[in-house]
Amino acid sequence: MRIPFIAGNWKMYKTVREAVTFVNELRSAVHGIADVTIVVGPPFTALHPVAQAVRDTNIAVAAQNLYWEREGAFTGEVSPGMIKEAGAEYAIVGHSERRRLFGETDAIVNRKTMAAIAEGLTPIVCIGETLEERERDETLAVLDRQIKGGLDRLAAGQVGALVMAYEPVWAIGTGRTATAAQAGEAHAHIRKRLRQWFGGDAADRCRVIYGGSVKPDNISALIAEPDVDGALVGGASLEVKSFLEIVTKCRSAAV
């Protein structure tokens, strides 16, 4: 049975002080919870202080991005090795904001995914369709393209160990959320393709989570879908109370 996975993507929010204050409060609130994987994704400036603050707890840390090269003349970029040294265990790859605002392609997502794995980081690989693509009934074809491109050349064992995040672009930061049925259909399709292309063990082990305006009042319906293994939470992860409520409801649904 896959353990539910809840990750908070803080995006470009929180100073170092705010980030450490947040995880100190969260650490006490989630102490003893072992049946949900809990991850926070601070901005790069707070990555190391947050990792230090949650050391030896049940909270893990994710970077929001990474570059695929080990080192070099790449102004402004951060390598997988730097991220791991800072204390992260996960790296978010291919978020729709990276694709839309910074031109990341499936090929770039693939390079970042492979670089993260090579450094011992677990990628959280994001895929999802735009509103226009959904209205043209292209959702499943888009997911196929992004899975094929993003996971190209990965072995079955590597796919089984990573996290896939289905994030319909039209639901991110808009207040709109895919219905539980829409999310369930997309997740079932993703699982089907993972089984078809990487084998049953990889498909059964890989956690496929939902992202897109996840809130305490919709997580229960989402997590009730058999192929929804958790959530990548945006705005609701910025407050301890709402993030904790999501973790708790996800935990209850898994019992």
Show the 3-state SS of 151-193: CCCCCHHHHHHCEEEECCHHHCCCCCCCCHHHHHHHHHHHHHH
- Kindly state the average pLDDT of the residues 202-217: 96
Rounded to an integer, the average pLDDT of 216-233 is: 96
Chain centroid to CA 104: how far? 16
How sure is the predictor about 254, in pLDDT bands with cuts at 50, 70 and 90? low
Question: In the predicted model, what is the mean pLDDT of the chain?
Answer: 96
In this predicted structure, the answer to whether residue 255 has a pLDDT above a threshold of 60 is: no
pLDDT band at 170 (very low <50, low <70, confident <90, very high): confident
Lowest mean pLDDT among 55-59, 100-104, 173-177: 173-177
Residue 175: per-residue pLDDT: 75
Neighbouring-strand partners of residue 7? 39, 232
Q: What pLDDT score does 177 carry? A: 77
What was the pLDDT predicted at 139? 96
Count how many Cα atoms sit within 13 Å of the Cα of residue 7 in the half-sphere of its side chain: 32
Residue range 8-22, pLDDT digits in tens: 999 999 999 999 999
Query: pTM here?
Result: 0.96
- pLDDT, one tens digit per residue, over 110-124 is 999 999 999 999 999
**Catalytic site residue from 167, 187, 189, 225:** 167
Q: Concatenate the DSSP letters of all residues of 9-72 into one string.
A: E--S---HHHHHHHHHHHHHHTTT--SSEEEEE--HHHHHHHHHHTTTSSEEEEES---SSSSS
Q: Answer yes or no: 31 catalytic.
A: no
Model confidence at 253, in pLDDT bands (50, 70, 90)? low
Q: Find the mean pLDDT for residues 56-72.
A: 98
Whether residue 173 has pLDDT greater than 80:
no
Mean local confidence (pLDDT), 82-88: 98
Active-site pick, 95, 97, 129, 187: 95
Mean pLDDT of 200-226: 96
pLDDT score recorded for residue 174: 76
Give the pLDDT mean for 221-228: 96
**Catalytic residue flag (residue 48):** no
Res. 77: pLDDT tops 80: yes
Which residues contact residue 71 at a Cβ distance below 8 angstroms, ignoring those fewer than 6 apart? 79, 81
Are 160 and 200 a contacting pair, CB within 8 Å?
A: no
**pLDDT at 252 (0 to 100):** 66
